[in-house]
Amino acid sequence: MSVRAYRDIMRRKSRQIRVGSVLVGGDAPISVQTMTNTLTTDVKATVEQIKSAEAAGVDIVRVSCPDEESTKALKQIVREVNVPVVADIHFHYKRGIEAAEAGAACLRINPGNIGSSDRVREVVKAAKDNGCSMRIGVNAGSLERELLERYGEPCPEALVESALTHAKILEDHDFREFKISVKASDIFLAVAAYQGLAEACDYPLHIGITEAGGLRTGTVKSSIGLGMLLWSGIGDTVRVSLSAEPAEEVRVGFEMLKSLNLRHRGVNLISCPSCARQNFDVIKTVEALEKRVAHITTPMTVSVIGCVVNGPGEARETMIGLTGGGNNTHMVYMDGEQHHRIKDEDIVEHLGQMIEKRAAELDAADAAAKAKAAATAAE
């Protein structure tokens, strides 16, 4: 079997919708989302938090709109940020209308929760008039009472039925620009629900393990559940729900996609866990190098290995590699070939400058290729 064959992930075929400037579903890249935790009425704090998430690469940001003051603030927030904003609406249909008119790119709303068919029709009209999509967001912690009584507890079948019931309401109002999520804090429940939903419809799926926990525990739980879904081709947009700053959710999301070869952003740093064979302090070096190249968005793979046991083999597979050697002298590799030697004290800054130079070269080549393609298309 070729290396390529076992790395391929066949994504589930889904219809495509638009969230502002971001396409979700179909053949679009899997997008990474987060949600602000500031008061939406505090425009300055909310914009600052979104800007921080933008620096981490976020594609879509959601903000809570529980009251009229928040939807009023939303209008200003949308003007000051560069990514599509999703308005989080729960029960009041007027908030959905206001958010759509304020410039929200998407409404997170469950149509069955906002009242009569007339109210749903008003929200749908506002969404259509303002080019706004929707997300049906089903959560195990807030399932409809009727479903809980019938199924006895939150279960995959109940989550899927709830999602499809809400979807049917929008379909009956001739609205299909929506994505769906069926989240749970229990990994097994969430994965089974998404698997069932993926088989039952072709709408794009927003995947997440809700209320996953703090940075470490939440990352582990999310990686297990979302990793399984993504590996099996399920998921068009992802949010990693952590009790941490939104930008951390974004970074973890991109690392997941990078690990599965689904989307690349920034430096993929391969490093050893360190052992008694190491010829330099691997842990401190990697920590410092990650900070040094955090601003790089160009995809590339770099290896930092403490000794010659696995170092040369890893270096052969990376653009830039470092293998620890004796006498405070280490080998630097370029494109798998030995290139030059450096000393301990030079490692972080030296590699950082090499990575920046290679990123600039790759960006220039990419820009030239795009310009050539555009010129050819114009002929």
| Cα angle 331-322-267, degrees, rounded to a multiple of 5 | 155
CB 45 within 8 A of CB 52: no
69 among annotated binding-site residues: no
CB 134 within 8 A of CB 177: yes
| Cα angle 322-324-329, degrees, rounded to a multiple of 5 | 100
For 143, residues 6+ apart whose C-beta sits below 8 A from its C-beta are 154, 158, 159, 162
DSSP string, 281-331: -HHHHHHHHHHHTTT--S-EEEEEESSTTTHHHHHTTSSEEEE--STTEEE
3-class secondary-structure state, position 77: helix
φ, ψ of residue 86 to 5 degrees: the values are -100, 130
275 among annotated binding-site residues: yes
Q: CB count, 10 Å around CB of 243?
A: 13
272 among annotated binding-site residues: yes
Cα separation of 177 and 194, whole Å? 19
For 299, residues 6+ apart whose C-beta sits below 8 A from its C-beta are 264, 265, 266, 268
What's the N-to-C CA distance of the chain in angstroms? 42
132 among annotated binding-site residues: no
Binding residue numbers for [4Fe-4S] cluster: 272, 275, 307, 314
Binding residue numbers: 272, 275, 307, 314
